[in-house]
Amino acid sequence: MLETLQQIDLDVLVWINHTLKSDWMDSVMLFCTSKFTWIPWYAVLLYFLYKSNPKRIWINLIVLTCCIAAADQLASGLIKPLVERLRPCHNDAVNFKLLLIDGVCGGQYGFVSSHSANVFALFTFFYLKAVFKHIKVMLYILFVWAFIVSLSRAYLGVHYPGDLLCGALVGTIGAYVVIWLEGLIERRYFTKNNE
- 34-41 long-range contacts, Cβ below 8 Å, gap at least 24? 38/149, 41/145
No. of helices (H) and no. of strands (E), the chain: 8, 0
Q: Are 30 and 149 in contact (CB under 8 A)?
A: no
**Coil, helix or strand for 111?**
coil
Confidence bin at 192 (pLDDT 50/70/90):
low
Q: Supply the pLDDT for residue 57.
A: 95
**Tally of CA atoms within 13 A in the half-sphere of 185 that contains its CB:** 8
pLDDT tens-digit series, residues 48-96? 999 999 999 999 999 999 999 999 999 999 999 999 999 999 998 888 8
Q: Supply the pLDDT for residue 77.
A: 93
Q: Are 32 and 149 in contact (CB under 8 A)?
A: yes
Confidence bin at 2 (pLDDT 50/70/90):
confident
The span from the CA of 79 to the CA of 115, in Å, is: 14
Confidence bin at 187 (pLDDT 50/70/90):
confident
The span from the CA of 5 to the CA of 9, in Å, is: 6
CA distances from 60 to 25, 99, 140 (A): 36, 41, 21
For the chain, what is the mean pLDDT?
92
Q: Supply the pLDDT for residue 195.
A: 41
Percent of the chain with pLDDT over 90: 75
pLDDT tens-digit series, residues 19-43? 988 889 999 999 999 988 999 999 9
Q: Supply the pLDDT for residue 170.
A: 97
- Does 193 score more than 80 pLDDT? no
pLDDT tens-digit series, residues 85-109? 999 999 988 888 888 888 888 899 9
Query: pTM for the full model?
Result: 0.91
